[in-house]
Structure 1
Amino acid sequence: MESIIGQAGRRFAATVRDFCRDDRGVAAVEFALILPMFLLLTVGTIDVAALLYGRAALEAGARAASRKGLTGSTPNPAINRTNGASLTDITNEVKRYARGFFDITDSSRFKIYSRVIPNYTAIPEICRRFEANGTTCLPANFNDENGNGAYDGAAADSTGCTGQIVYYEISYDWTPYTPLVSYVMNGGQPIRLQAVAVVRNEPWVAAGSC
């Protein structure tokens, strides 16, 4: 007579054999394994596309702002311009391109700088955050171009006077839509998108200071 253990062993072997041959639910298992990677790839593609679009929007805004600054804000070319475009004009030009993608109302993330520089190769020191007095800039808040440890840049933006060279910089601290993608791209920190344009103002009839 066959032992109980032998019968149980055969039944167990048959069960394992049937289980291995049964392919029901394989598609569901494969889908469950692939879905997370597919979603990550899809969202990552969207984030990369948004990153590229954001950079393109800032570059277009920088070009428009610098064009506005060098030509001025007078719409009629027959009228002699007496001063350059205002900072409000420059800001509005940038916002035309940035609106809808960037939070242009968040001044801590959306920055527009314009500085008069002596030549095309000069890089101005720009303070990212002034202290409460409006003039003191701590070393961690500016790019120390001459290495003297002190902030030597202007305390305020300027679109320059006739014939002057002006440096325009637009930046935005953008956060990817997906936390995991944000971590992979920049350690979970916002990514700074930046565009720069350097132009020489066209000559115009100067009226007082500008």
Structure 2
Amino acid sequence: MNDNLPSWTASPSSAARRFKATKRGVSAMEFALVMPVFLFLVLGGMEIGYTAYVKAVLEGEMQRVGRSRTMETASSNEQRALLENRVLDMVRRLAPTANVSFSRKVFRDYAGATTGKEFFVDANGNGRCDNKEVFEDGNNNGTWDEAGVNDSDGGARDVVVFTAAIDYDRLPTTGVLNWTRTGKLEARTALRNQPFDQQLPKPERTCL
């Protein structure tokens, strides 16, 4: 008596199998859509966390080394090299192949270190030393310099801006994200040399 019934009513088990197969197909499609986003979030989060950790260690070590570097006993080339090697060793514990370079600039005070220029009286307010404006010739080279004195330890009470720049390899997983394999980080510290009461006067000159 069931010969005239539709095929789907005649075989409930086959209909259930088709329904399950359809559900599996939908699940596979949902997985294919969600997985790339999930992978990006996980791998990207790992790289961001790694970069943040390296930067935090670099900045912390720069602050610690900077405090030692600007002491009276830390002005020799040997002492400076020792302190720079301490930063290098710490960085390479986290990024073994990192390339670390160091630079330093000297300013008369923290204001100069902030602006990056030798102090001058900006009478016309244009941000440049000109029109017979008076400036302090910190490196005594006869001209106003927009930057501080490069690669110098400075003298008493001078502010030394000590900078470390690193090029490091990102985590291997960044290749999956199509990110560049190398990253760049930079950290600096600005501290005043000791002793604090013996700063020599800087010659005053005028800009053309």
Shorter chain as denominator, the TM-score bin is: 0.5 to 0.7
Match of 1:131 in 2: none
Runs of 5+ unmatched residues, structure 2: 1-6, 118-126, 131-144, 199-208
Task: Name the counterpart of 1:194.
Answer: 186
| Secondary structure, counterpart of 2:102 in structure 1 | strand
Equivalent position of 1:66 in the other structure: 66
Q: CA offset at residue 48 of structure 1?
A: 0.8
Q: How has the CA–CA distance of structure 1 residues 146 and 114 changed in structure 2, closer, same or farther, with 3 Å as cutoff?
A: farther
Question: How far 1:96 sits from its partner (Å)?
Answer: 3.6
What does residue 179 of structure 1 align with? 175
Q: Is 2:91 the partner of 1:98? A: yes
The residue aligned with 2:101 is: 111
Number of the residue aligned with 2:157: 163
Question: For residues 171 and 31 of structure 1, do their structure 2 counterparts lie closer, same or farther at Cα, with a shift above 3 Å needed?
Answer: same
Cα distance in 2 between the residues matched to 1:69 and 1:201: 9
1:122 aligned residue (98, 112, 117):
112
1:152 positional shift: 6.2
Q: Distance in 2 between matches of 1:193 and 1:48?
A: 13
Shift in CA distance, 120/54, structure 1 to aligned 2, threshold 3 Å:
same
Matched residue SS, 1:51? helix
Return the TM-score normalized by structure 1: 0.57
The residue number in structure 2 matching 1:87 is 80
Partner SS for 1:121: helix
Aligned residues: 162
Instruction: Name 1:39's counterpart in structure 2.
Output: 39
Correspondence for 2:18 = 19
Instruction: Give 1:88's aligned amino acid.
Output: A
| 1:154 Cα offset (Å) | 7.0
Q: Is the 8 A contact 1:61 1:95 kept in 2?
A: no
Please provide the CA RMSD for this pair. 4.3
User: How much has 1:64 moved relative to structure 2?
Assistant: 1.9
| 8 Å CA contact retained: 1:167, 1:198 | yes
By how many angstroms is 1:59 displaced? 0.6
SS at match of 1:22: helix
Greater CA radius of gyration, 1 or 2? 2
1:128 is matched with none
**Contact between 2:154 and 2:160, CA under 8 Å: does it hold in 1?**
yes
Q: 1:146 to 1:93 in 2, by over 3 A?
A: farther
Query: Secondary structure, in 3 states, of the residue corresponding to 1:203?
Result: coil
CA distance in structure 2 between the partners assigned to 1:105 and 1:42 by the alignment:
24
Q: TM-score, normalised by structure 2?
A: 0.57
